[in-house]
A = this chain, B = another copy of it.
Amino acid sequence: MDIQQVAKRANVSTATVSRVLNGFPGVRPKTVDKVQRAVADLNYVPNPNARSLRVGSTRLFGLIVSDVNNQFFPELIDAFEALASAEGIDVIFTHTNYDLKRLHRCVRRMIERSVDAIAIMTSEVEEDSLKQVHKAGIPVVLMNQRRYAAKYPSIPVEYTTGFREALDHLLSLGHRDIGFIAGPQNLNSARGRKDAFRTALRKHGLHVRSEWIAEGDMRVEGGRIAMQKLLEANPRPTAVIATNDMMAVGALQAAHAARVSVPKNLSLIGFDDIPIASLVRPSLSTIRHPRREVAARAFNCLQSALKGEIVNGGPTLHPHLVIRNSTAPPARKSRNACK
């Protein structure tokens, strides 16, 4: 079932059919009608491969994320896909499981699939993969990396703002001893968040105590283990901020297991505002990552790049604190203070 058959049935040439199908001007209404009828009659669907072959564009975008099981991503994927869909673009997406090698393979596969553009939202990125894309002449945008912003379009998100708000909140509640659950420091974004936390802390004139910083694997389990460590510190922080909500949830469980009541004896703040944050008990105060906005920006970025426009990520976006029930003033006489 090809365009020729349609042409024959409509008594026109293939060129005319093509013009009608693509909505080009300069075809008589009557002819348009004939063609459309033929298309409908024959149940004709154009062959996208032939089209792509000729035109050189696939109307296919690639989206690479770190971890499908992190609730952070579905919303991002959803937003990205909705925009793409509206433009008749399909999205093929894969995840790296926080693994640099897998990222490399993902990128390679997308190049081989000859996607028109690639959006990357992973915690880890390494330049080789990006170079590969660049060589292939495919536009790319990074959603979670300021590190390569000079060389590759990136959506700028200023983590510090979120941390400052979180600290303001904790300080105003009376906290001074603030711990941090970091992510693996080989992940750029985890490192970025930790740096942002440090910066914000310093701005408030507070000190970073090394025994109040623990490291987790970005997942629930890692957060649990990290919190166990923090709870052993002496003195113990009265409030803890986690690099992401998944770990914050783990931290909450660890606190619960250790019979440390949140928020009475320990305040806890997450990062991202994933759906689960409002579903655990107590619901989690957290720094909301503007991911729908990021996805939209990224998508537009890629579209612009494809049009040959000069691309920049736009003005900096800021995460903001969402206050729920995991934060409260510190207990007057904490166990530590007694000791």
Segment 302-333 of A: residues with Cβ below 8 Å from B? none
Cβ A49 vs Cβ B58 within 8 A? yes
State whether the Cβ of A136 lies closer than 8 Å to any Cβ in chain B: yes
Q: Is A174 an interface residue (CB 8 A)?
A: no
Known A-B contacts A276-B276, A279-B220, A280-B279; the reply to A114 vs B74 at CB < 8 A is no
> Interface 1/0s, chain A 169-190, versus B by CB < 8 A?
0000000000000000000000
B-facing residues in A68-99 (Cβ within 8 Å): 68-69, 71, 74-75, 77-78, 81, 85, 90-95
B78 close to A95 (CB less than 8 A)? yes
Which residues of A from 251 to 293 have beta carbons under 8 Å from B?
253, 256, 275-276, 279-281
Closest chain B CB from A252 CB (angstroms): 9
Q: Does A203 contact B (CB under 8 A)?
A: no
Q: Kindly identify, within residues 129 to 144 of chain A, every residue whose CB is under 8 Å from any CB belonging to chain B.
A: 135-136
Q: Write out the residue numbers on chain B whose beta carbons fall within 8 Å of the beta carbon of A47.
A: 53, 114
B91 touching A92, Cβ below 8 Å: yes
Pick the contact of A114: B48, B77, B114, B275 (CB < 8 A): B48
Q: Which of chain B's residues have a CB closer than 8 A to the CB of A136?
A: 45
A249 at the interface (CB under 8 A from B): yes
The answer, yes or no, to whether A338 is at the interface (CB within 8 Å) is: no
The residue of chain B having its C-beta at the shortest distance from the C-beta of A55 within the complex is: B49
Assembled-state Cα–Cα distance A93/B74 (Å): 12
Interfacial chain B residues near A207, Cβ < 8 Å: none
Q: Considering the complex, which residues of chain A in the window 9-56 have a beta carbon less than 8 Å from any beta carbon of chain B?
A: 43, 45-50, 52-53
Indicate if A109 sits at the interface (CB-CB under 8 A).
Answer: yes
Contacts of A281 on B, CB cut-off 8 Å?
256, 280-281
Whether, in the assembled complex, A111 has its beta carbon less than 8 Å from a beta carbon of chain B, the answer is: yes
Q: State how many angstroms separate the Cβ of A220 from the closest Cβ of chain B.
A: 7
Given A47-B53, A114-B49: A93 and B95 interface contact (C-beta under 8 Å): no
Q: How distant is the Cα of A90 from the Cα of B280 in the complex, in angstroms? A: 35
How far is the CB of A121 from the nearest CB of chain B, in Å?
14
Interface centre among A52, A74, A93 (most CB of B within 10 A): A74
| Chain B, Cβ-Cβ closest to A109 | B90
A113 CB-CB contact with B under 8 Å: yes
Looking at the complex, which one of B90, B220, B275 makes contact with A69 (CB distance below 8 Å)?
B275
Min CB–CB distance A77 → chain B (angstroms):
6
Cβ B45 vs Cβ A111 within 8 A:
yes
A-B contact pairs, 25 of them (CB 8 A): A46-B112, A47-B114, A48-B113, A49-B52, A49-B58, A49-B114, A53-B53, A60-B92, A68-B75, A68-B77, A69-B75, A78-B95, A81-B94, A81-B95, A85-B94, A85-B109, A90-B94, A91-B92, A91-B93, A93-B93, A220-B275, A253-B279, A256-B281, A276-B279, A280-B281
Q: What 3 A-B pairs come out closest when comparing CB atoms? A: A49-B52, A68-B74, A49-B53
Please list the residues of chain A having a beta carbon within 8 angstroms of any beta carbon in chain B. Answer: 43, 45-50, 52-53, 58, 60, 68-69, 71, 74-75, 77-78, 81, 85, 90-95, 109, 111-114, 135-136, 220, 249, 253, 256, 275-276, 279-281
